[in-house]
């Protein structure tokens, strides 16, 4: 009997050890690569070759618990206005705390004289100041809005814009991912990704436009247009679920779950003379499907040559 108890205890001990070994912890701080080492708030941390995305806090500090199997990968640290940095996770595990220094992406150039016409600033996309409705979020849902290049514009995409609305969850500043896609060959839906970094944005106000600066990436305007995309992150990146009680058409009360993520505003096609559907959506890795009755309120600022 004692022998059986000893075996059981040993098995439980081994089991606990295995469970604890399934995760590893990374601690550190993201700062500017300057003597003062100013913290970089809310930097995005991505595990290479995975969909694992994390965020530092407002002081640049982070504590990550990641699967042990990912120690062979790298941690990619990005923040708007800074150059991305990649660090081996094995190297980070050699010390209990890692200070990550990011260099500014904006370089001071020598003065030069150029005899050329002044670059032109162009805005393409929705310009409305209010939306007809809002599309409330689901985990890993991507909203894509196509911006055509009808005038063969050449230049750089400086920023992208989103009309953000508050959903029933009441969380306007929850994070979402910004993506930029080219157009698929011989197709109308999104194709290759134009920016590989994970750009995480947060709105501050309800029913207002949010502009996200992507000028550091120097993305050239594709000849056949491009897609501005708002992606809702996986469920684990949001704090809580919120529910509300709704009444159905037949008078029954039902409980509806809402995800603590922002909603994107949209405008009805019939409200815009001559408008056609330029909006697409997809869940996770499913196929893209066209949104027929309305267009997402998104846009892009371009500096043309």
Tens-digit pLDDT profile for residues 228-286: 999 988 877 766 556 666 666 677 777 666 677 888 999 988 766 777 899 999 988 88
Give the domain-ending residue among 48, 68, 102. Answer: 102
Q: Between the ranges 10-24, 117-131, 154-168, where is the mean pLDDT highest? A: 154-168
C-alpha closest to that of 51 among 127, 140, 165:
140
Is pLDDT above 80 for 71?
Answer: yes
Residues in the chain: 305
Does any domain span residue 13?
Answer: no
Q: Tell me which long-range contacts 217-222 makes (C-beta under 8 A, separation of at least 24).
A: 218/156, 219/156, 219/157, 219/180, 219/194, 219/195, 220/154, 220/155, 220/156, 220/157, 221/149, 221/153, 221/154, 221/155, 221/156, 221/157, 221/302, 221/304, 222/149, 222/182, 222/183, 222/194
Give the domain-ending residue among 67, 102, 137. Answer: 102
User: Contact, 262 vs 137, CB < 8 A?
Assistant: yes
Is the domain of 63 the same as that of 199? no
SS3 at position 101 = strand
Q: Mention every residue, 6+ apart, whose C-beta is less than 8 A from residue 223.
A: 149, 152
Residue 39: which CATH number?
Answer: 2.60.40.1120
Is pLDDT above 90 for 173?
Answer: no
Is the domain of 177 the same as that of 248? yes
Report pTM.
0.68
pLDDT category at 112 given cuts 50, 70, 90 is very low
Question: Domain total for the chain?
Answer: 2
Q: Which domain holds residue 89?
A: 22-102
Residue 271: which CATH number?
Answer: 2.60.120
Is the domain of 79 the same as that of 155? no
* DSSP H or E stretch at residue 259: strand 253-259
Is the domain of 198 the same as that of 233? yes
Give the domain-ending residue among 102, 136, 170. Answer: 102
- Which pLDDT score, from 0 to 100, does residue 241 have? 57
Does any domain span residue 3?
Answer: no
Is the domain of 221 the same as that of 194? yes
């Amino acid at each position: 009997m004692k022998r059986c108890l000893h075996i059981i205890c040993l098995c439980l001990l081994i089991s606990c050890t295995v469970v604890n070994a399934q995760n590893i912890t990374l601690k550190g701080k993201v700062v500017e690569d300057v003597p003062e080492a100013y913290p970089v708030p809310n930097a995005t941390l991505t595990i290479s070759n995975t969909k694992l995305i994390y965020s530092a806090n407002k002081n640049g500090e982070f504590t990550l618990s990641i699967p042990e199997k990912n120690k062979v990968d790298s941690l990619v640290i990005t923040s708007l206005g800074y150059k991305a940095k990649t660090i081996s996770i094995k190297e980070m595990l050699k010390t209990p705390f890692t200070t990550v220094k990011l260099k500014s992406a904006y370089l001071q150039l020598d003065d030069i004289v150029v005899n050329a016409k002044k670059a032109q600033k162009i805005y393409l996309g929705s310009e409305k100041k209010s939306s007809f409705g809002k599309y409330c979020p689901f985990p890993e849902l991507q909203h894509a809005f196509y911006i055509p290049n009808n005038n063969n514009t050449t230049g750089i995409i400086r920023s992208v814009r989103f009309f953000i609305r508050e959903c029933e969850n009441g969380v306007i500043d929850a994070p979402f991912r910004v993506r930029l896609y080219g157009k698929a060959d011989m197709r109308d839906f999104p194709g290759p990704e134009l920016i590989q970094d994970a750009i995480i944005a947060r709105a501050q106000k309800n029913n207002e436009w949010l502009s996200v600066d992507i000028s550091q990436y120097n993305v050239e305007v594709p000849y056949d247009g491009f897609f501005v995309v708002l992606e809702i992150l996986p469920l684990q990146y949001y704090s809580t679920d919120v529910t509300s009680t709704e009444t159905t058409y037949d008078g029954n009360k039902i409980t509806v779950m809402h995800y603590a993520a922002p909603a994107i505003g949209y405008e009805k096609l019939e409200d815009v003379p001559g408008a056609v559907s330029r909006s697409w959506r997809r869940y996770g890795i499913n196929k893209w499907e066209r949104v027929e009755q309305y267009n997402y309120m998104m846009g892009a600022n371009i500096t043309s040559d």
